[in-house]
């Protein structure tokens, strides 16, 4: 789902008060805790960058929260982080019961932390 918002604050205000918003806020807090990472909007979704380097884009879908990063298999070549996770080439789909540890680990690898 795309929300017609021009700012991160507007995007978050447009979300329903449900588990997807809670999950987005949890992931958002993690990205913003990384030194040098800033928040903005891209393609009507929340975007996180470090300098000119895009780190992730995320969005609330109807049944999950999507987190888009680089090629996930390149970030997890051994497949241990993504094992059993719902994902595509660059999209990790988090459901209500999924924790965000995999997002934290992938972000750390993406940023060389």
In a domain, 27, yes or no: yes
Q: What is the pLDDT of residues 10-40, one digit of tens each?
A: 999 989 899 999 999 999 999 999 999 999 9
Has residue 2 been placed in a domain? no
User: Is residue 3 included in any domain, yes or no?
Assistant: no
Residue 66 within any structural domain of the chain: yes
* Total-model pTM: 0.89
Burial of 55 (0-12, 13-18, 19+ CB in 10 A): buried
Structure confidence at residue 113 (pLDDT): 84
Angstrom distance (rounded) from CA 67 to CA 69: 7
Q: Is 74 strand, coil or helix?
A: helix
CATH code where residue 75 lies: 3.90.1150.200
Instruction: Look at the chain and report how many structural domains it folds into.
Output: 1
Confidence of residue 4 (pLDDT cuts 50, 70, 90): confident
Yes or no: say if 44 and 2 are a contact pair by the CB < 8 Å rule: yes
Residue 1 lies in a domain: no
């Amino acid at each position: 789902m795309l929300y017609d918002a021009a700012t991160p604050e507007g995007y978050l205000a447009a979300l329903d008060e449900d588990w997807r918003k809670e999950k987005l806020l949890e992931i958002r807090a993690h990205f913003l805790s990384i030194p040098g990472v800033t928040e903005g909007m891209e393609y009507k979704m929340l975007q996180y960058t470090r300098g000119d380097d895009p780190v992730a884009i995320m969005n609330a879908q109807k049944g999950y929260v999507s987190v888009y990063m680089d090629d996930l298999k390149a970030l997890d070549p051994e497949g241990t982080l993504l094992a059993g996770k719902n994902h595509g080439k660059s999209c990790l789909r988090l459901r209500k019961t999924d924790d965000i540890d995999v997002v934290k680990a992938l972000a750390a690898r993406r940023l060389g932390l």
